[in-house]
Amino acid sequence: MLCEVCGKNPAAFHVITVVNGEKVEQHLCEECAKQKGGMAFMFHPHLSVAGMLSGLFTPAEGQVEPGTMERCPGCGKTYHDFVKAGRLGCGVCYTQFEKEIEPVMRKIAANPEHVGKVPKRRSGSLLTWREIEGLRRGLDEAVRTENYEEAARLRDQIRELEKRHQESR
């Protein structure tokens, strides 16, 4: 796709502007995007998303950085390596450094658990499965707190959803 302003160079930026509820999309090359202005931050040579995120994970003044000596059993990286790079080394890091990163993840996203998008053709069964998983967590909590009436209600609800799910297949 070519730049919509100069019509010569390949478009490198997809700019969406919303004014009074109307969305305007533009496809610009790097040169036209620079000339347009207001996007100077995009061209900073040392700017990276990882760098922006790493700033969120630095401890407040007077606090000791947590988990600096612990190493991830999956990749061997430390929490300090994560803060410096702005990204985790592997999937195991999420579990290893969970208590350190969870407060920051709550600031970034309302729900720290990634749920992703659901394809329309699978939405029914996947949503049912997610509901069952949530009920199972509630059931575990009810049993842990010895709330057996609630546990029985949740158990019956899970069985009903599983039965409907099997019948719909």
Domain ranges of the chain: 1-46, 49-108, 120-168
Q: For residue 118, give the 3-state DSSP assignment.
A: coil
User: Do the Cβ atoms of 15 and 33 come closer than 8 Å?
Assistant: yes
Task: Tell which CATH classification among 3.90.550, 3.30.60, 3.40.50, 3.30.750 matches the domain 1-46.
Answer: 3.30.60
Cα end-to-end span (Å), the chain: 44
- The arithmetic mean of pLDDT across residues 75-92, rounded, is 82
CA 116 to chain centre: 8
Instruction: Decide: 111 and 92 in contact? Cβ < 8 Å.
Output: no
Spatial distance between the Cα atoms of 78 and 155, rounded to a whole number of angstroms:
41
| Dihedral sign computed on CA atoms, order 36, 40, 46, 47 | negative
- Between the alpha carbon of residue 3 and those of residues 33, 43, 91, the distances in Å are 9, 17, 39
pLDDT band at 149 (very low <50, low <70, confident <90, very high): very high
Flag whether pLDDT at 50 surpasses 60. Answer: no
Q: Amino acid identity, residue 49?
A: V
Instruction: Name the 3-class secondary structure at 65.
Output: coil
Which band of pLDDT confidence, cut at 50, 70 and 90, is reported for residue 67?
very low
* Mean pLDDT of the residues in the chain: 76
What is the Cα–Cα distance from 157 to 132, expressed in whole angstroms?
8
Cα–Cα distance for residue pair 120/123, rounded to 1 Å = 5
C-alpha of 88 from chain center: 13
The more confident residue out of 7 and 87 is 7
- Residue 20 pLDDT more than 60? yes
**What distance in Å separates the CA atoms of residue 136 and residue 130, rounded to the nearest whole number?**
10
The pLDDT confidence band at residue 61, using thresholds 50, 70 and 90, is very low
